[in-house]
Amino acid sequence: MTAHQPTEGEEGGERLALARLAELYGVAPSFRPSQDRTVAASDSALVAVLAALGVDAGTPEAVRAALAARERELAARLLPPTVVCGADGTATALAGLPSGTRLRVRTEQGEVCDSLHRLPPGVHQLDAVAPDGRTAHAHLVVAPARLPTPTGRSYGILVQLYSLLSGRSWGMGDLGDLGELSSWAGRALGAGFVQVNPLHAAVPGAPTDPSPYRPSSRRFPDPVHLRVEGIPEFAYLEEAGARVRALLERARRLRESVLDKGALIDRDAVWELKREALELVCAVPLGPGRQAEYADFLARAGEALEDHATWCALAETHGSDWSRWPAGLQDPRSAETARARRELMDRVDFHSHLAWLTDSQLADAQRSARDAGMPVGIVHDLAVGVHPGGADAWAQQEHFAAGMSVGAPPDAFNARGQDWGLPPWRPDRLAESGYTPYRQLLRSLFGYAGALRIDHVMGLFRLWWVPQGQAPTEGAYVRYDAEAMLAVLALEASRAGAVVIGEDLGTVEPGVRETLHERGVLGTSVLWFERDWDGDGRPLPPDHWRADCLATVTTHDLPPTASRLTGDHVELRDRLGLLTNPVEEERAAASADTGEWLTLLSRLGLLKGCSGGHSGAGEEAEIQAVHRYLLRTPARMIGVWLPDGVGDRRPQNLPGTWDQYPNWRLPIADAEGRPVTLEELAGSSRLWALMEVLREGG
């Protein structure tokens, strides 16, 4: 007896059923890499993504059963797990409730209400009872319609903190340097903000992944950024005087190796040194006031910090990939983990202590910025995800999709797609929890941020899930409840009085930018990308730029402006074998691109002799001119890439490379490649001249 072979009609019906099932779970059965082209996600991709959401779609029979069950569930459901309500009491999720349904709300503040009108902002608990006896419980998010936005125009500095070494750094820039930079930039330059790279906790290892965009935890900062001498208890290390002097001498040598001897920033060496020093500092007894402050921090951070510190302690013993730990320790709620936590209590407290110290210095940096007159202060960066072996993925396993990785589908920029190696949050689990992990994450960051830049902000709407072991082309989009994600963002940002900037570069789903604009999320506009893509393709006139954005000339993933203007970026990519076309063609295309911009700048009268006593329409004048162009736009925030102020030609990150290029390990340098300290930056006539352009408004 031979097995039944499905006919073409049966196969079509099976595909339609699978696509319908996928859609009911927020999984897109197709995607559009361009306006005129639609690509179907493969059946295997849909089956794998559904499996990660707990749905068996492995056979036609399983698909039919799952589809019927899902349709029954949705038909019977009174309320979704999380409901979003406007300040006026309207909630679209309640529109379909049967007439006569009774509602009851218990607010965060403990009040009980029978109406959704005049509810305070917060995440409340909603109960519904239908006339037919059905009941439902949901989380109710009440948030402002819009996020806080800048009250006026400001300009500021963009910098990768590790790259900013001062004469006091221990081999890489630290939070003391950030405070100094912010205080100087606010007072001397009139800057309104300083934007830094993500300062999330990294995954320890040998070597540690230097990328700040693949952290162990986004909830807690990395103590490698601590200014050790800035910790009050450091002053009381009298008994360890000889050891402290030896540590300071090693710090000096490490600093000089980068600044004077051409060495790369060695994060692992910096952390080894600081860890030794911090072991000594944390052994100093806290005074009563400091002890009370630490206790308050522990109480606020709660279980999240306990989990993070436990992971750090276990990683010291079992390695930094929790999936390889003994089985009992892979569950953060197991009896084995509880026992290990008790046995390692000293190490758990050590890592909790470090989290407090780092959080405190981050708050100090923001305070320095605001005291210096900055209306925004420090702009922190939220990475799109976390490392699969790190602390957050361990502690919040139920909220992450097992066997999946975030990436990007094939498009005009990358025909093979991208796999970023970051596990995605499960949208169903987020909704069931009232978005608790997301709220906690935002609240921790807004505790010391004047503004937050969200990397790949499109991820609030949908993310491309790639099954592990498959090519990025074999993925599918999974949709998130953007209304809820944005409501929680508006709630937490409003509570903190903080601005939010969305990194919305590249391919963006239709309607996303418009929705973000309506909610008050600023966009990101980079000069070289701002062309009339729907028209003649020429540089976009400055008055056609959007106002609600952070406008810059370049970013950490792009060549510095001097490199682009001189064509050095083409030569670098050629040396590394990264060009997709012959080098002559790439040179010609790059020259034509910059030439078109320079012609426009000259025609607008922006290409002048250098400010500040310099002469000639050379490189400095051209860099000043592109920033004058930004001033002609209505952009609310204008950012200056700090390395541009001294003519640095080396990108901090060169996408598409790993060990071929020293990504995330370069100090800021001048046009000759000589590292420049914070103190030298403060005295740089070239930087002063560029910032004077912004200060004078062009």
Give residue 619's pLDDT. 94
Q: 627 near 640, Cβ under 8 Å?
A: yes
Determine which helix (DSSP H) or strand (DSSP E) holds 379, and give its type and residue range. Answer: strand 377-382
Determine which helix (DSSP H) or strand (DSSP E) holds 277, and give its type and residue range. Answer: helix 267-282
Pick from 468, 457, 547: which is nearest to 503 by CA?
457
Its pTM stands at 0.95
**String of b and e for 67-83 (b: at least 16 CB within 10 Å)?**
beeeeeeeeeebbbbbb
Give the three-state DSSP class for 472: coil
CA distance 146 to 121: 12
Residue 381 burial by CB count (10 A; 0-12/13-18/19+): exposed, middle or buried? buried
Give residue 487's pLDDT. 97
Give residue 415's pLDDT. 74
Two tokens at 194? 């300083």
Beta bridge partners of 225: none
Q: Which residue stretches of 88-194 are H helix?
A: 175-188
Give the three-state DSSP class for 544: helix
Pick from 346, 427, 316: which is nearest to 80 by CA?
427
Q: 217 near 200, Cβ under 8 Å?
A: yes
Q: 452 near 446, Cβ under 8 Å?
A: yes
Give residue 10's pLDDT. 60
Which amino acid does the sequence have at 487? A
Give the three-state DSSP class for 154: strand
Strands 217-221 and 200-201: antiparallel
| Rg (alpha carbons) of the chain, rounded to whole number | 27
Give residue 207's pLDDT. 84
The mean pLDDT values, 10 residues at a time, for the chain of 698 residues are: 52 88 98 86 97 97 97 95 90 92 95 92 96 95 95 96 98 98 98 98 89 97 98 90 94 98 97 97 97 98 98 97 97 98 98 98 98 98 97 98 94 81 97 98 98 97 96 96 98 98 92 96 97 92 96 97 96 94 96 96 86 56 97 98 97 91 97 97 97 88
Give 572-603 as a DSSP string: HHHHTT--SS-HHHHHHHHHHHHHHHHHHHHH
CA distance 149 to 545: 18
User: Rounded to 5 degrees, what are φ and ψ at 218?
Assistant: -95, -10
Q: 78 near 130, Cβ under 8 Å?
A: yes
CA distance 174 to 451: 19
Strands 377-382 and 476-479: unpaired
Which amino acid does the sequence have at 592? A
Q: Give the chain's largest Cα–Cα span.
A: 92
Q: How far is CA 431 from CA 130, 138, 445, in A?
A: 22, 9, 21
CA distance 392 to 411: 30
Give residue 6's pLDDT. 57
